[in-house]
Structure formats: structure tokens, C-alpha cells
């Protein structure tokens, strides 16, 4: 009997114990779901799990030597949820001050977006400033980590490199052309944020960010700055509208410098005209004038009808072609072909090009790359234009021979002259550093290329290029002074001064093209405007690359 009682007592004790546990659990459930419901809802609203972006580093752009030309720096953007924005007066005033806004401007931003849950207050601010704003602890204020592009060389190379927008997307220049290569892939991570938008717990990365690729250009930063600096001085000295300089490595087609004036600061673009963003050396076309005569003579030599010693009578300094007059500045009388290039005789070149059908010269110019893009993949590059053979009456063909009736870019001129530096081969140009040169295509016979190169060298000593000579080096070149075309014919007293040169003649290393648009003071002839600038850029190029001197002729 006693044994039965003890067993019953134990059962009662266990039942009472579990009943108490159950009662406590029920009470806690009631407490949490009824009595503290509002509190828990507040906590749930105050803390939430979010998936946020991890910004990806945009690839750096460097020159051929690894010097940075475009880099990404960490910044933050500050945004607000207007529905949660609840600062006191002091917080509001300090926030406006940090954002460089008036209280009225800040208030307007909030009011205009009052029905939204996200609006930027300011993009890409320094981390030091974002920490000051975060320290205010204003409800509704949030931060977003980003990167901002910075360009160390500022305006000296801005039109080539271009820039990115506030979302780190390339929209001009190299930044646009190589957007897919440079851009990274954004990562993702899960975090817990409090009601102030602050991350209070990191729950882990869902997807790692992938940085963009680095891009090494063919540009030499030292040479780029030299070209830009000297170009700026020339544009200012002659009160020119604009100017461009292109330097190409004659051995492999690498573009070493592309300078334009006027330029702009890509780190602070607010007050610039968008027209300034153009890379004029690649986008703007013009009639080149007499710098084309080297090609006209090369084309004529290729026919076998002429040699450098062929005698041509340019008397009396003018001639009638298809009812129109072709003139020289002076009556040069009887000249050989070399003398025609030295004196830049329009009459002499006209007699040479008219000795063959239009297809001869026009086809040759097209083979040299005129009238087509250079395959750089650069946004906005112009193909220029050239008259069609069927439309070329004798006068049109004559003027084409001395540089009218076609439009070219500075880059096209530099590239085309590579045939004279490479024994008649036209090699492709590139903006990307390339250790393996491309063979190119044979456009003219090596003998013809050498003959024209020597004729261009004689221009430096006995012709219009004397101001482009460089002590200790053999230099070949050609001047060009062309009238500027307008909507209703050629503009009055508006000219383009050009000089294209190659050095050293004994073993060509560089081709330099100099274009000065509409000089308006101290003259306009290429011999006095463009040739001296060429000498400064070419001599600097030879020095920077430690090119040995060769013996000048004469």
C-alpha cells in the first residue's frame, strides 16, 4: 500500500512540475505577443536584413611606363529616407553645412522627395566628410560606398583619356572605348542595419566583387606633357583657335602623344563647354594643303613617268586647268621633282598628277588611310573624306594634288607618313602598349619611299622647313598652309598651318604631326607657326628616348 502511495506522489510531483513549465511558457507567449507587441514591432522595424552592393574597383589606366593616368579613389555617397528623416534643428543646420547647401536647399531636397524612400543628398564625398555626417546620428541618413575617378595629369591628356560619370561609367575617350575592360563586377553581401541605416552586423558575402582590368596605353606621359605644354605656348603666341600634336613611334605604330589645346580639367568639369571634350586630333577634319604634296609626288614616282631628277617647267608661275587658274607664290621657273617639293610648287605638282588618270592619285591616297578610320576603336574618330574619281575633273584633281578636296585628321596625317619612315609599309597605329609590332602592308616600293624621304629632308635645308631643323639630327618634313573652308566658300584670312616630320632620317624613330588652326597674330604660314613647334616636340622626343644623333646633310 505504501509503495503504491509513493508512486502516486511521484507522478503528482512530475505533473505539477511540467504544468508549471507549461504555464510559464504560455505566460511568456502572452507577454510577448500581447503585452509587448508594440515593442517587438518597433525592434523589428528598427533592425532589418538588407542585401547591399560591394563596389568594384575600376581598372587603372597607365602610360607605357606604368605611370597612373586614371585611378579610382574610395568615396561615399550620402542618401536619405525622407520618411525617417528626423533631425533636430542643430543637426539639420550642421548637415546643411557639411553638404555645402543652404538650409533652404536641403529642406527643398527633402520635401520634393517626401513620398520616396531613397534620395541622394550628395554623391562621392570624401570618407572624412561622411564620418562627420554619420557622427550627427540623424535618423534616415544612410551612406553608400563608391569609387571616384581621379586623373593625376589633369588637362594635359584629358581629351584622350576622357572621364567617367558619377556612376563610374566611362562616357568619353579611353574611359568609354574600354568601358567593358575597365569596369569591375559589383559584389553583394547580407547585413543587418538599424533604424539609422547603420550596419550593425555583417552576415556574410554573397558574391565577391571583381575589380576591373588595368589598361596600359602606348602613351609616354613625359612626351605627352612636353607636347601639350609646347602646343599651349604656340597657340597662345599666335592667338590660334586651337591646335593638335600627334607623336607616333615609326617602328611599331604606337601613339606616344596626342595633345590638344584648348583642353579641360577632368577632375573639375563644371564650367567647361562640352565642345572642349573633343579629341580634335582624332575627331576634327580639315583640308591639309601642301603636306599632301609628298604623297602626290610619291604617287607620280610610282607610275614610272618621273624620277627625282625629272625636269618640269613651272613658268610663268601659273597655269590654266579646266578653265581655272593654279598659281605658285613665286615663279620658280624650271625645277626638278625634288625642287618642286622644296619650293612647294602647285604648278609643278599639278603637271605631275595630271599625267595620270584620277584613279592613280585618289587610289593611292586611300591606300595610305585617307578617307577611312584608323581602327583604333576610339569613340568619335572621323574617317575624313576624299573626292571620288568619277567627280574629279582636271581642276579638282589638280587641287587634290596640293591638299584641297580632301579632309583629314591630324592622326591620319601622322599615320600616312609612316610609309616614308618604313620603306613603303603602312603599319597600323595603336593606343595600347604593344611589344609585338604588326608588319603592315606594302603601299609603295621601298625605293620610292626612300626617294621621297630624302626629298622631304631637302625641304629642311633648301625649302620651307628650315625652322624645323634639329642640330645633330637628319630630319625630313613638309609644311602646309591651307585656307579654311566655310559654308559659303573659303574664309577670309583664315588658315591652317601644318607640319609633318620624320626623324632621324638614317633610322626613322618618330613621326610628328603639328596642326595649328586659324593663327591670327604674328603670321599664319606653317614655316613660322608650325615648324618651330615641330622642332621642339621632335627634339624632346629624341632626347627622352635617347636616340643617337646622326649626321645632318649639307
Positions annotated as catalytic residues are 290
Measured distance CA(141)–CA(195) in Å, rounded: 10
What is the full DSSP assignment across 139-187?
TTEEEEEEEEEE-TTGGGSHHHH--B-TTS-B-SHHHHHTHHHH--B-E
137: buried, middle or exposed (CB in 10 Å: 19+, 13-18, 0-12)? exposed
Contact 452, 337 (CB under 8 A): no
What is the full DSSP assignment across 469-513?
--TTS--EEEEEEEEEEETTEEEEEEEEEEEEEEE-TTS--EEEE
Strand partners, 147: 74
Pairing, β 255-261 against β 324-327: unpaired
Query: Would you state the cell numbers that stand for residue 45, as one nine-digit string?
Result: 522595424
Cα dihedral across residues 219, 220, 221, 223: positive or negative:
negative
Measured distance CA(542)–CA(510) in Å, rounded: 8
Report how far apart the first and last C-alpha atoms of the chain are (Å, whole number). 140
Measured distance CA(133)–CA(140) in Å, rounded: 12
Ramachandran angles phi, psi of 16, nearest 5°: -60, -40
Element (H, E) at 21: helix 2-30
Cβ within 8 Å of residue 504, ≥6 positions away:
473, 474, 475, 542, 547, 548, 549, 550
DSSP single-letter state for residue 207: E
Query: Would you state the cell numbers that stand for residue 344, as one nine-digit string?
Result: 612647294
Measured distance CA(295)–CA(355) in Å, rounded: 15
DSSP single-letter state for residue 276: G
Amino acid at each position: 500500500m505504501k509503495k503504491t502511495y509513493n508512486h502516486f506522489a511521484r507522478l503528482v510531483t512530475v505533473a505539477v512540475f511540467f504544468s508549471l513549465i507549461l504555464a510559464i511558457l504560455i505566460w511568456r507567449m502572452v507577454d510577448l505577443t500581447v503585452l509587448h507587441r508594440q515593442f517587438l514591432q518597433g525592434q523589428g522595424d528598427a533592425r532589418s536584413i538588407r542585401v547591399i552592393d560591394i563596389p568594384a574597383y575600376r581598372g587603372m589606366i597607365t602610360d607605357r611606363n606604368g605611370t597612373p593616368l586614371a585611378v579610382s579613389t574610395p568615396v561615399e555617397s550620402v542618401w536619405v529616407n525622407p520618411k525617417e528623416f528626423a533631425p533636430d534643428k542643430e543637426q539639420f543646420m550642421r548637415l546643411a553645412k557639411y553638404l555645402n547647401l543652404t538650409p533652404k536647399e536641403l529642406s527643398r531636397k527633402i520635401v520634393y522627395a517626401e513620398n520616396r524612400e531613397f534620395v541622394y543628398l550628395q554623391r562621392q564625398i570624401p570618407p572624412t566628410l561622411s564620418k562627420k555626417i554619420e557622427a550627427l546620428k540623424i535618423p534616415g541618413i544612410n551612406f553608400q560606398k563608391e569609387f571616384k575617378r581621379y586623373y593625376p595629369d589633369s588637362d594635359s591628356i584629358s581629351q584622350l583619356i576622357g572621364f567617367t560619370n558619377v556612376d563610374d561609367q566611362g562616357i568619353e575617350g579611353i574611359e568609354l572605348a574600354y568601358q567593358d575592360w575597365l569596369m569591375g563586377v559589383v559584389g553583394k553581401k547580407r547585413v543587418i542595419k538599424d533604424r539609422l541605416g547603420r550596419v550593425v552586423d555583417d552576415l556574410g558575402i554573397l558574391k565577391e566583387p571583381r575589380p576591373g582590368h588595368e589598361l596600359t596605353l602606348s602613351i609616354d606621359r613625359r612626351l605627352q606633357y612636353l607636347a601639350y605644354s609646347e602646343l599651349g605656348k604656340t597657340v597662345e603666341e599666335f592667338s590660334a583657335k586651337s591646335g593638335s600634336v600627334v607623336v607616333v613611334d615609326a617602328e611599331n605604330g604606337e601613339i606616344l602623344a596626342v595633345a590638344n589645346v584648348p583642353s579641360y580639367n577632368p577632375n573639375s568639369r563644371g564650367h567647361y563647354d562640352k565642345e572642349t571634350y573633343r579629341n580634335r586630333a582624332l575627331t576634327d577634319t580639315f583640308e591639309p594643303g601642301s603636306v599632301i604634296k609628298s604623297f602626290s609626288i610619291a604617287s607620280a614616282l610610282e607610275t614610272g613617268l618621273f624620277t627625282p631628277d625629272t625636269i618640269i617647267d613651272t613658268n610663268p608661275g601659273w597655269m590654266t586647268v579646266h578653265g581655272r587658274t593654279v598659281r605658285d607664290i613665286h615663279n620658280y621657273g624650271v625645277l626638278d621633282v625634288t625642287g618642286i617639293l622644296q619650293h612647294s610648287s602647285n604648278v609643278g605638282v599639278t603637271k605631275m598628277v595630271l599625267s595620270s588618270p584620277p584613279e592613280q592619285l585618289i587610289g593611292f591616297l586611300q591606300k595610305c588611310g585617307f578617307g577611312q578610320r584608323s581602327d583604333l576603336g576610339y569613340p568619335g574618330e572621323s574617317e575624313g573624306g576624299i573626292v571620288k574619281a568619277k567627280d574629279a575633273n582636271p581642276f579638282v584633281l589638280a587641287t587634290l594634288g596640293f591638299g584641297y578636296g580632301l579632309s583629314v585628321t591630324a592622326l591620319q596625317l601622322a599615320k600616312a607618313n609612316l610609309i616614308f619612315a618604313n620603306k613603303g609599309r603602312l603599319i597600323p597605329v595603336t593606343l595600347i602598349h604593344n611589344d609585338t609590332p604588326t608588319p603592315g602592308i606594302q603601299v609603295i616600293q621601298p625605293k620610292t619611299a626612300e626617294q621621297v624621304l630624302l626629298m622631304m629632308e631637302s625641304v629642311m635645308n633648301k625649302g620651307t622647313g628650315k625652322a624645323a631643323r634639329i642640330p645633330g639630327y637628319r630630319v625630313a618634313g613638309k609644311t602646309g598652309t591651307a585656307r579654311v573652308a566655310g559654308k559659303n566658300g573659303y574664309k577670309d584670312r583664315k588658315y591652317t598651318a601644318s607640319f609633318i616630320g620624320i626623324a632621324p632620317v638614317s633610322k626613322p624613330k618618330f613621326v610628328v604631326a603639328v596642326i595649328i588652326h586659324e593663327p591670327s597674330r604674328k603670321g599664319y604660314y606653317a614655316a613660322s607657326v608650325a615648324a618651330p613647334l615641330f622642332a621642339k616636340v621632335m627634339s624632346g622626343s629624341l632626347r627622352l628616348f635617347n636616340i643617337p644623333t646622326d649626321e645632318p646633310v649639307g
